[in-house]
Homo-oligomer: A and B are copies of this chain.
Amino acid sequence: MSNTYGDKFRVTTYGESHGPAVGAVIDGCPAGVSLDLEAIAATLARRRHGAPRQEEDSIEWLSGLRDGITLGTPIAFVIRNNNTRPEDYAPLEHLFRPGHADYTYYMKYGLRDHRGGGRSSARETVARVVAGAVAMQLMPEVEIEAKSQKPKEESPNDTIGGVVSCRVTGVPAGIGEPLFGKLNASLAAAMMSIPSAIGFEMGSGFKAAEMSGSEYIDRWNNDGSTKTNHCGGIQGGISNGMPIEFRVAFHPVVSIPQPVECLHEDGHLETVNIDGRHDHYHIERAAVVVEAMTALCLINYML
């Protein structure tokens, strides 16, 4: 079910970056909740901030709401792709760009939509951000804040990546599942499903692997809280009431503003200057998606 996220609050997304539209159907949203649709639109606008392809991204709600109140039925929405420039991609019809998913999609499906990456494009995250904003409104006691860290300045001729740190407060102790349903395992999958994500760590993460046990263990306070939070707020897959803290590494934007060697379907290499509109730095926008995916992950445990 690769296009559906969640089991209780299920989001099924659709849409190619250069097709008519992107959107999703949310199944499992409780009935009787008054949604603030303007706040959702504002969250979506935050994602757009600074993106080279500026779209109005107006959300049309197709079902599941009456006068802004959820009916308990599937909430479908659609966002039109107005500002596509498929002609930018014409030279790439038979080429696989390096660092992109062009080649792997082709190997899997035997065909691909070469126009802007199809489903592998970051355009797809629009639907996640809207669905995540709905989820957030169902958990008003939970606060999710993701911050991007820019490792260095991008140059006009190159791109960069970065790390997003996320901190979640307001999740009570006892949220999660054992074994394969561990909350940290679900968060890891949710984050690694974001385009460009390449690493995930809870709490002290890779640094914890170098600590001794007596350094690592989070000591108790009398009230069940702990003096440190090396574990990142989750033990045995279940929240302990401390802030949930994790970091997500993103590799640099792979569409670099330089000529690159592409692989032709017939096996020869061809140097191309790719014209599509692309970010040099995408981590600020990635942070909005990290927040959305965190909300989508958590709501499935909180409902």
Q: Which residues of A contact B (CB under 8 A)?
A: 1-5, 7, 10, 12-16, 19-23, 25, 27, 31-32, 61-64, 66, 69, 71-76, 78, 96, 98-101, 103-105, 107-113, 118-120, 124, 151-152, 154-155, 157-163, 172-182, 184-193, 195, 197-206, 208-220, 222-224, 226, 230-232, 234-241, 249-256, 258, 260-263, 267-269
A263 x B21 contact (CB < 8 A): no
Beta-carbon contact of B63 and A174 below 8 Å: no
CB <8 Å contact, A231 and B251: yes
Interchain CA distance A152-B209 in the complex, whole Å = 10
Residues of chain B contacted by A186 (CB below 8 angstroms): 189
A237 surroundings in chain B (CB, below 8 A): 2, 101, 104, 120, 193
- A258–B216 Cα distance when bound, in Å, is 13
Assess whether B236 is in contact with A101, with CB atoms less than 8 Å apart. yes
Which residue of A189, A209, A231 has the most chain B CB atoms within 10 A of its CB atom?
A209
A284 vs B152: C-alpha distance in the bound complex, in angstroms?
37
Known contacts A14-B25, A222-B268, then 9 further A-B pairs from the complex at CB < 8 Å, ordered by chain A residue: A1-B27, A3-B25, A13-B179, A16-B64, A32-B109, A98-B217, A104-B174, A201-B206, A212-B252
Residues of B with C-beta under 8 A to A267: 222-223
**Contact present for A63 and B22 (CB under 8 Å):** yes
A63 touching B3, Cβ below 8 Å: no
Task: Report the minimal beta-carbon distance from A10 to chain B, rounded to whole angstroms.
Answer: 6
Q: Is there contact, CB below 8 Å, between A62 and B15?
A: yes
Copy total for this chain: 4
Are A73 and B178 neighbours in the complex by a CB distance under 8 Å? yes
List 11 A-B pairs, Cβ < 8 Å.
A3-B27, A12-B27, A104-B173, A104-B174, A104-B238, A152-B212, A157-B214, A161-B216, A179-B193, A188-B188, A220-B261
Q: Would you call A62 and B76 a contact (CB within 8 A)?
A: no
Chain B neighbourhood of A151, CB < 8 A: 209-210
Decide: B179 and A101 in contact? CB cutoff 8 A.
no
**B193:A199 contact, CB within 8 angstroms:** no
**Complex: A188 Cα to B197 Cα, angstroms:** 11
Chain B residue nearest in CB terms to A155: B212
Is A262's CB under 8 angstroms from B204's CB?
no
- The residues of B that contact A118 with a CB separation of less than 8 Å are 71, 73
Closest residue of chain B to A30 (Cβ to Cβ) is B109
Contact A209:B217 (CB < 8 A) given known A62-B15, A103-B173: no
A220 to chain B, nearest CB (A): 4
